Structure 1
Amino acid sequence: MAQVTQCNWEEGVRLDSDRIIALYAKLGPAGAEQLISATMEDLAVQLSIVERLVRTGSGDALQAAIEGLLPLARQVGLPMLARVARDLIDCVQQENGPATAAVLARLMRIGDRGLTAVWDLADMGV
């Protein structure tokens, strides 16, 4: 009988703090916090939609939902999240179920950690 081992992968978040600083410089503290808050909320919702659509196998809607992550991730300085989202699009287009599941898991890990990192940076009033 084959043994299945679960790997718990720890991956650091790459946060483009210059993007957050630029938002504060351009919009001021109140405007930047409002934009970051709205974007983070949209990003969290979009991640949950992507996760649900991957599980239900909704092709075109899934690709559109993943593409919706890209500008949100870039806006709050999460380039790695955008890159992994593009990787997920590739997996979906290739109809590679195991790769899609693996990349989705990575997207969710990076998304969760990225949301926390951006909130922490914004809380410092950068």
Structure 2
Amino acid sequence: MDDVIARAHALASESFITASGPGGQNVNKVATAVQLRLDVYALRLSPPVFHRLRELAGTRMTARGELVLTARRFRTQEANRTDARDRLAELLREAHNLPEQRAKSRINRVGKTERLKGKKLRGAVKAGRGKVSFD
């Protein structure tokens, strides 16, 4: 797991762009936001992990399999770079976690008849709500 994160950090390319948000006049002059790009296919993830990563990434993953993370919360390049790398690591950790299998619920015979009885009663109430005809 940690080796995948280390590989991702090594393969990711960073570019600095001008950001909106805090920074005053400095924000217009200095490129403090970090755009981190990673080719997910280069990580050689197993198919289930890749599909979970694609699901978690959503619109942050391009059609070519490139993951694009933009970090602009902080005023400094270094803080934004750390933020982007941490978010990438967290995304990869989440993709490696297997979701818990949901246990199928079972209802016993008495519970089933009670449920059906309640549905019949509700249906009767709703059936009595129709238009009143005086014919």
Q: TM-score of the superposition, structure 1-length normalised?
A: 0.34
Larger % of strand: which?
Answer: 2
Structure with the larger helix share: 1
Q: Which has the larger radius of gyration?
A: 2
Q: Which has the higher contact order (CA 8 A, sep 6+)?
A: 1
